[in-house]
Amino acid sequence: MANHPSAEKRNRQRVVRTEANKSVKGAVRTAVKKARLAIAKGDATSASEQVSLASRALARAASKRIVHKGAAARTTSRIQSQLAALSKA
């Protein structure tokens, strides 16, 4: 355990920030999962809405550095591509 006052404070900050980040990561995973399920169902209008929500959640998490910028971009690109394929079919 930390023995120095500044190290103790850093540990307290880590605990608080980890909890906040967990909630954001969970929300992002849920949004992406809903988007993928909507695409799988084949309903283009609801899929478009869910993909938009997932993209926004990913961008917000990436801007806060909760999710890596490249991972967010890759995931967004993949669900956008799946939506485009659904729209063409």
Dihedral sign for Cα 9, 14, 17, 19, please.
negative
Class of domain 5-88: mainly alpha
Reported pTM: 0.87
pLDDT tens-digit series, residues 58-74:
999 999 999 999 999 99
Given a contact cutoff of 8 angstroms between Cβ atoms, the answer to whether 47 and 39 are in contact is yes
Q: Grade residue 57 by pLDDT with cuts at 50, 70 and 90.
A: very high
pLDDT tens-digit series, residues 72-86:
999 999 999 999 999
DSSP string for residues in the chain: ---SHHHHHHHHHHHHHHHHHHHHHHHHHHHHHHHHHHHHHT-HHHHHHHHHHHHHHHHHHHHTTSS-HHHHHHHHHHHHHHHHHHHH-
The predicted model gives 25-49 an average pLDDT of: 96
What was the pLDDT predicted at 26?
A: 97
What are the structural domain ranges in the chain? Answer: 5-88
Residue with tokens 């910028």: 69
N residues, the chain: 89
Amino acid at the residue 85 = A
What the block records as the tokens of 84 is 């485009």
